[in-house]
């Protein structure tokens, strides 16, 4: 079998409190996850379980306390330049218009301005923003900003796409539309995707594989499910597929206990 | 009759969003009128001047003698120089300390000390260093502008959203590009938010500097007039200064509007 696009081996992340050096928090413990090229993997888990930590490690934004990160077989040092990262929060530069934001990645790579502009125009069209080329982020709706962020991430043609609950702030209709758009783009490009979500429906509808994390602290992987639903899928329609219901039940049985644990911890905190 | 109509009449003329200009003029007229009639008394006129005398001074400055232009030019160029120099240094320092944790740690007490010092007191020292020409005034005004800009930029750099930084890094920005495309625009928006204050203070610094010792400028004119108890000219000078301060402020507002189109203004809606 070919080299995984991204492999996280026995990742442990311990944070030390800035005020009290003895106060430690282990977000991840011995988490191992391999993603094949072209594979769509979702990670689900209870709130506060270190899903984003896992993603930041894969992106090279966070160095793990222990364990190794490999990108297409090469050990990762610093930022993972083969990856694109779609953040949960607002990541567009507010002083740049939509097109300037989308072309930023190419600009940083010193692509000639004209070429970068043309490509950005193309991507804006693909995500349905050709009417908002010169709009600034504050003039766009939440859904439009997410589209711009998607184009901004994809324009660099990354081999690995990391997504951190990208649609959690959107209303359900916009969300399903965007999920379908992401799937469509993914089908045409077939890049490795690591998709973080707390929404099990979303995870099953979109992925090839769903990975379940335990409640924190010391989060590790407690289950893995292959999603053998036929593609191409429509995220709204696939939910009524009998296999979807089966998978949902099987995964939820594993996840439920962890969710309750996580909920309990938050209540106590 | 009067009792019944009174409230109705008041309702129709009381200040509201439509007739506020009228009310502004009424207030001005009341002030000028009171001043005029009060200053018919010589004692009052000695301390407050006479409106017509003040108007005459201004008329003479601008039209008859035309000698105010040189002084205004001096004061305004001092303001402009101080503003530019203070902003550039404030921005550079703010960027540097905002980005370098150690530098800010080391220099923190000195900056706090310099900022809390009443800096007008430095005027005599600057006069010794730079002479009585414009540069001693520029130096004084720079010390005022610098700190405003510096603290704003410093705070701005520290508050750049971490998501924005991470995103730019993931998009392949190197250190230099981060500085140019994330930190600098972010710092600039903070400079703009302090622009009204810093332009105003540049003006204050220039005038105070002139007032404390100089051979030209509007502050110098006021000082001269005060020496001969020519209260009309003093008030005229104050009015001219106020008008120009307002003009500067207007200029700042226009520049701001031009450069910060990307900034949301509250309640902005699409114009049809």
- DSSP notation for B23-39: HHHHHHHHHHHHHHHHT
Asked if the model's pLDDT at residue B270 lies above 50, the reply is no
Rounded Cα–Cα distance for residues B13 and B8 (Å): 9
Q: At what angle do helices B195-212 and B134-158 cross, to 10 degrees?
A: 160
Q: Which residues of A touch B268 (CB under 8 A)?
A: 139
A128: tokens are: 């349905």
Are B163 and A91 inside 8 Å of each other by CB?
Answer: yes
pLDDT in the model for residue B66? 85
Domain positions in chain B are: 11-48, 62-259
**How large a percentage of chain B has pLDDT more than 70?**
94
Asked if the model's pLDDT at residue B1 lies above 50, the reply is no
Asked if the model's pLDDT at residue B269 lies above 70, the reply is no
ipTM score of complex: 0.89
pLDDT in the model for residue A15? 87
φ, ψ of residue A217 to 5 degrees: the values are -75, 170
A228: tokens are: 């053998």
Q: Which residues in chain B (160-189) have CB-CB distances under 8 A to chain A?
A: 161, 163-164, 166-174, 177, 181-182, 185-186, 189
Considering only the top CATH level, what class is B62-259? mainly alpha
Strands A160-164 and A192-197: parallel
| 3-state SS, one letter per residue, for B198-256 | HHHHHHHHHHHHHHHCCCCCHHHHHHHHHHCCCHHHHHHHHHHHHHHHHHHHHHHHHHH
Tell me the shortest Cα–Cα distance from A71 to chain B, in angstroms. 15
- Of the candidates B170, B182, B261, the beta carbon closest to that of A79 is on B170
Tell me the shortest Cα–Cα distance from A25 to chain B, in angstroms. 21
Quick: pLDDT tens for B43-65. 888 889 999 999 999 999 998 88
Please compute the mean of the pLDDT values over residues B258-270 and round it to a whole number.
63
Rounded Cα–Cα distance for residues A19 and A13 (Å): 18
Are A94 and B263 inside 8 Å of each other by CB?
Answer: yes
Please compute the mean of the pLDDT values over residues B71-81 and round it to a whole number.
93
Length of chain A: 269
Are A85 and B177 inside 8 Å of each other by CB?
Answer: no
pLDDT in the model for residue B4? 56
- Of the candidates A89, A95, A156, the beta carbon closest to that of B172 is on A156
Q: How many CA atoms lie within 13 A of A146 on its CB side?
A: 22
pLDDT in the model for residue B5? 58
Q: Which residues of A touch B264 (CB under 8 A)?
A: 138-139
Please compute the mean of the pLDDT values over residues A187-211 and round it to a whole number.
92
pLDDT in the model for residue A264? 80
Q: What is the CA radius of gyration of chain B?
A: 24
Are A89 and B161 inside 8 Å of each other by CB?
Answer: yes
Asked if the model's pLDDT at residue B268 lies above 80, the reply is no
H or E stretch at B116: helix B101-116
- Of the candidates B167, B189, B261, the beta carbon closest to that of A87 is on B167
Asked if the model's pLDDT at residue B83 lies above 50, the reply is yes
CA-nearest residue to B176 within chain A is A108
Rounded Cα–Cα distance for residues A208 and B159 (Å): 39
Are B185 and A93 inside 8 Å of each other by CB?
Answer: yes
Which residue of A80, A84, A91 to mutate against B (max B Cβ within 10 Å)? Answer: A91
Q: At what angle do helices B218-227 and B68-99 cross, to 10 degrees?
A: 120
Asked if the model's pLDDT at residue B265 lies above 80, the reply is no
Quick: pLDDT tens for A31-79. 899 999 999 999 998 877 788 889 999 999 999 999 999 999 999 999 9
**How large a percentage of chain A has pLDDT more than 90?**
55
Rounded Cα–Cα distance for residues A162 and B121 (Å): 58
Which residue of A78, A92, A94 to mutate against B (max B Cβ within 10 Å)? Answer: A94
Strands A74-75 and A221-226: unpaired
Q: Which residues of B touch A80 (CB under 8 A)?
A: 170
What residue spans of chain A are helical by DSSP H? 51-59, 98-102, 104-108, 113-126, 142-154, 172-189, 200-206, 242-268
Asked if the model's pLDDT at residue B169 lies above 90, the reply is yes
Tell me the shortest Cα–Cα distance from A80 to chain B, in angstroms. 7
Q: Residues B103-139, buried b or exposed e (16+ Cβ, 10 A)? A: ebeeeeeebeeeeeeebeebbeebbeebebebbbbbb
Rounded Cα–Cα distance for residues A80 and B141 (Å): 48
Of B224, B81, B171, B157, the closest CA to residue A107 belongs to B171
Asked if the model's pLDDT at residue B266 lies above 60, the reply is no
Q: Does B103 touch chain A (CB under 8 A)?
A: no
Are A156 and B171 inside 8 Å of each other by CB?
Answer: yes
Asked if the model's pLDDT at residue B166 lies above 70, the reply is yes
Domain with CATH 3.40.50.300 in chain A: 6-82+160-268
Write down the residue that tokens 């540049």 correspond to: B202
Tell me the shortest Cα–Cα distance from A249 to chain B, in angstroms. 35
Q: Which residues in chain B (67-86) have CB-CB distances under 8 A to chain A?
A: none
Geometric angle at alpha carbon A250, from A247 and A251, rounded to 5°: 85
Instruction: Please state whether B8 falls in left (phi above 0), alpha (psi between -120 and 50) or beta.
Output: alpha
Asked if the model's pLDDT at residue B182 lies above 60, the reply is yes
pLDDT in the model for residue B271? 45
Are B170 and A83 inside 8 Å of each other by CB?
Answer: yes
Please compute the mean of the pLDDT values over residues B12-20 and round it to a whole number.
80
Asked if the model's pLDDT at residue B2 lies above 60, the reply is no
Asked if the model's pLDDT at residue B221 lies above 50, the reply is yes
Considering only the top CATH level, what class is A6-82+160-268? alpha beta
Are A95 and B164 inside 8 Å of each other by CB?
Answer: no
Are A61 and B173 inside 8 Å of each other by CB?
Answer: no
CA-nearest residue to B175 within chain A is A108
Length of chain B: 272
pLDDT in the model for residue A1? 53
Asked if the model's pLDDT at residue B236 lies above 50, the reply is yes
For residue A189, name the pLDDT band (cuts at 50, 70, 90): confident
Asked if the model's pLDDT at residue B93 lies above 60, the reply is yes
If you average pLDDT over every residue of chain B, what do you get? 87
Q: Which residues of B touch A94 (CB under 8 A)?
A: 262-263
- Of the candidates B170, B172, B263, the beta carbon closest to that of A59 is on B170
Question: How crowded is residue A153: how many other Cβ atoms within 10 Å of its Cβ?
Answer: 26
H or E stretch at A68: strand A66-71
For residue B253, name the pLDDT band (cuts at 50, 70, 90): confident
Please compute the mean of the pLDDT values over residues B4-22 and round it to a whole number.
76
For residue B159, name the pLDDT band (cuts at 50, 70, 90): confident
Geometric angle at alpha carbon A55, from A33 and A120, rounded to 5°: 120
> Under DSSP, is residue A157 helix (H, G, I), strand (E, B) or coil?
coil
Which residue of B170, B176, B267 to mutate against A (max A Cβ within 10 Å)? Answer: B170
What's A130's DSSP letter?
T
Q: Are A52 and A164 in contact (CB under 8 A)?
A: yes
For residue B214, name the pLDDT band (cuts at 50, 70, 90): confident
Asked if the model's pLDDT at residue A90 lies above 50, the reply is yes
Are A105 and B172 inside 8 Å of each other by CB?
Answer: yes
pLDDT in the model for residue B74? 93
Which residues are CB-contacts of B16 (< 8 A; sequence separation ≥ 6)?
none
């Amino acid at each position: 079998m070919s080299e995984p696009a991204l492999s996280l081996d026995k990742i442990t992340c311990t944070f030390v409190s800035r005020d009290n050096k003895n106060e430690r928090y282990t977000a991840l413990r011995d988490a191992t996850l391999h993603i094949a090229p072209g594979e769509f993997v979702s990670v689900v888990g209870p709130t506060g379980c270190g899903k984003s930590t896992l993603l930041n490690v894969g992106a090279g934004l966070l160095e793990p306390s222990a364990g190794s990160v490999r990108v297409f077989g090469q050990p990762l040092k610093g930022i993972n330049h083969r990856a694109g990262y779609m953040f949960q929060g607002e990541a567009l530069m507010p002083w740049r218009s939509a097109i300037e934001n989308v072309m930023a990645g190419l600009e940083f790579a010193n692509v000639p301005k004209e070429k970068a502009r043309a490509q950005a125009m193309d991507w804006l069209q693909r995500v349905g923003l050709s009417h908002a080329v010169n709009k600034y982020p504050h003039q766009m709706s939440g859904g439009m900003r997410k589209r711009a962020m998607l184009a901004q991430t994809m324009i660099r043609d990354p081999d690995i796409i990391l997504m951190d609950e990208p649609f959690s702030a959107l209303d359900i209709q916009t969300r399903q539309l965007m999920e379908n758009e992401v799937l469509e783009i993914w089908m045409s490009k077939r890049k490795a995707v690591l998709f973080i979500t707390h929404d099990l429906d979303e995870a099953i509808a979109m992925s090839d594989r769903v990975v379940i994390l335990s409640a924190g602290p010391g989060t590790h992987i407690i289950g893995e499910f292959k999603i053998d639903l036929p593609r191409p899928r429509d995220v709204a329609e696939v939910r009524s597929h009998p296999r979807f219901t089966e998978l949902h039940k099987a995964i939820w049985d594993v996840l439920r206990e962890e969710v309750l644990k996580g909920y309990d911890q938050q209540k106590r905190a | 009759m009067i009792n019944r109509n009174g409230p109705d009449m008041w309702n129709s003329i009381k200040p509201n969003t439509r007739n506020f200009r009228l009310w502004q003029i009424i207030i001005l007229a009341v002030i000028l009128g009171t001043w005029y009639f009060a200053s018919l008394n010589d004692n009052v006129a000695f301390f407050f001047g006479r409106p017509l005398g003040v108007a005459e001074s201004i008329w003479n400055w601008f039209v008859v003698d035309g000698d105010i232009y040189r002084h205004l030019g001096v004061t305004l160029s001092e303001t402009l120089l101080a503003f530019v120099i203070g902003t550039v240094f404030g921005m550079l320092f703010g960027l540097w300390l905002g980005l370098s944790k150690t530098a800010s740690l080391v220099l923190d007490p000195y900056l706090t000390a310099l900022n809390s010092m009443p800096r007008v007191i430095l005027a005599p020292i600057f006069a010794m260093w730079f002479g009585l020409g414009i540069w001693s005034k520029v130096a004084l005004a720079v010390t005022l502008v610098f700190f405003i800009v510096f603290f704003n930029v410093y705070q701005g750099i520290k508050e750049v959203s971490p998501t924005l930084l991470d995103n730019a890094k993931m998009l392949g920005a190197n250190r230099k590009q981060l500085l140019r495309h994330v930190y600098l625009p972010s710092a600039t928006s903070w400079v703009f938010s302090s622009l009204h204050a810093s332009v105003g203070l540049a003006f204050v610094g220039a005038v105070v500097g002139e007032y404390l010792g100089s051979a030209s400028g509007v502050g110098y004119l006021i000082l001269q007039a005060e020496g001969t108890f020519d209260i009309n000219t003093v008030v005229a000078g104050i009015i001219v200064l106020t008008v120009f301060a307002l003009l500067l402020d207007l200029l700042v507002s226009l520049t701001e509007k031009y450069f910060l189109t990307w900034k949301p203004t509250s309640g902005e809606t699409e114009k049809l």
